[in-house]
Each structure stands twice: as structure tokens, then as C-alpha cells.
Amino acid sequence: MGRTGWIAAGAALAATLMAGAATAHEAWYPSAYGAADTLGAVNNLSPEGVKRAAALVTTGKVYALGVPTGVSTPAYGERRYSVERIPGPAAPLAPPVGANKVTAYDERVVTSMGIGTQMDGLGHLGIDHRYYNGLHASQVNTDKGFALDLARVPPIVTRGVLIDMVRHFGKPLAAGQAFNRADIEAAMRAQKVTVGKGDVVLFHTGWMAAKAQSDRDVFRSTEPGLGEEGAIWLADQGVVAIGADTVALEPIPFENPDRPFIVHQTLLAKKGVHVLETIDTNALAADGVTEFLFVLGQPRFEGTVQIVINPVAIR
């Protein structure tokens, strides 16, 4: 091949690589919910879905799915929580106010919003500085605000589904153990439950019950969890959020050590599905609950990328 031929071949290869890169981008943005969308899969919520979910309430039993957030709550990485009560315990008591003698306490909290039971927003994890809907970091985090602000996410009231992976495997799952579509579908068949558009899906792995109190360092640094293929399949069913009784939803050590937090990237950036972490599924699993009314009116702190929550299940 002559020099001209090599140049032409090189140009063709470069064009192919560029096209491939463009195709890779196009595969996950713009979003299926529209190029300007900032909400993701919560677009699948509907009044009809709320009414169907409300019809699941037969006993009126209420389950708090959140754990208390405090100084000793297991937290990922270097996240910390502190609270200062005002006045402090050593401060002199102020005189009561008014004829009715009003006294009070206030507080000052310094914390990550990612401690305890939490919801990850779509601006939490990205891919090479691009976040949900392909928004670049320069478009997401500006002096005018945060484009993927959790404060704009509507309340999530919908059908909740619990998939008991302890029941499926016959024992609590181990650190690094991943489950994907085949296991999820097998567990759903055995437990006679389905998932669909607008649902919130929760997994019971047994990790919280086994480790949260006995070995907190292990609980917060390793875990079983949802694998990448399973995450893609669930997101493609139209679910709005996925959670588990673990700190980070996905298995740690990761399925592929060279691709850390791939499930977070898949759900948050590519699919617009919120991630729910440290969900207390123990009571639901103990009662054999597989579907329920899921209610979450999350706090609306502006500018946060994650938020502490206490979702509620009602059966």
C-alpha cells in the first residue's frame, strides 16, 4: 500500500473510532425521557400507579425502612456526622420567656447527606465528568445552582417490591457476591412477584442483619449486591429506584476491580434510576412481604447530591 493508501486507511480508522465514541455516548444520552430532562425514571410515576399501590394496603401495618442517622451510624468512606445542641449541656439555662415560660433547644448539624439510609441523586456519580442525560460537570455544578438538584424530585409514592435474596440462596449473602438477572428472575418466580414500570425494587441480602451491629467496619466497606447486568435489566423494566440493606447497593469487592461503582454509573448516569442505600428490609423479609405501598417524601435540601431518608412501606 502506498503512502496515499496508508493516509486514507488511517483517516478511515480515525473516523471509525470517532463514530464508535459517538455511538457509545448516544447509547446512554440523550435520555429516553427527553434531552432536557433532569428527573430520570421518576417520570414513570403516575396517579394511576399510586391508586394501584394503595390497593395493596390490606392490614395497615407500617414499616420504617430507614435506620437512625447518628455519630455511630456505619458510613461509607470518610463521611461523618456531628450534632451540637444549643444551648449545650454545660451552658447556663436562659430565663424563660413570657408569662407561659417558654424554653427551647435548637441544634446545629454538620454532616454528609450520605450517612445511614439515603437516596442517591442523579448528579452523584457520573462517567468521565458527564452525569445523567450527558450533562457535563460544567453544566451541572454552576454558580446558579445544581442542575440535578434532589430538591426538585417529587415525592415517590408507588408500588414497592421486596425480592428476598436470602430466601433465594438459602442463606445470607457474602461480601462481593453479585446477583444478576437470572437469580433475580428465579427469586421473583419463587416468591410470586413481578416488577414493572413505576415500581421501587428493594433487595434483602441479610448483610445488615449479619454485620451492621457485629462488625461495622466490614458492613460499611464490603458487601454483596446487585450486578451490572441485573441493574440494566431492572432499569429497562421502568423502575424508578432500586435499594438494598447494604451501604452501596452493588457488590464490594466489585464484579470487575477495574470498573468500580459501575452499577451506580449505570443506574444514575445512564438510566436515571435513583439508588437507595442502607434500607432496613429485615422486618419486611421476616413477615414474608413481597409487595406494598412505598411512600417517600424526601427532605428538599437544595443543592444536595444525596439525601438522608426514612421511606415507609405499608402493607
In order of start, what are the domains of the chain with their CATH numbers? 29-76+113-314 (3.50.30.50), 81-111 (no CATH)
For residue 305, what are the contacts with CB-CB under 8 A and spacing of at least 6? 113, 120, 121, 123, 124, 146, 148, 150
Give pLDDT, residue 216. Answer: 84
Beta strands in 174-263 (DSSP E): 178-179, 200-204, 225-226, 241-244
CB 306 within 8 A of CB 124: yes
Compute CA distances 12 → 23, 24, 25, whole Å: 16, 18, 20
Looking at the DSSP bridge assignments, the partners of residue 274 are 241
Q: What's the predicted TM-score (pTM) here?
A: 0.90
Give pLDDT, residue 6. Answer: 40
Give pLDDT, residue 76. Answer: 85
Angstrom distance (rounded) from CA 156 to CA 135: 24
Give pLDDT, residue 131. Answer: 98
What amino acid is encoded at 204 in this protein?
H
**Within 13 Å of residue 153, how many CA atoms lie on the same side as its CB?**
34
Regions in the chain scoring below 70 on pLDDT: 1-26
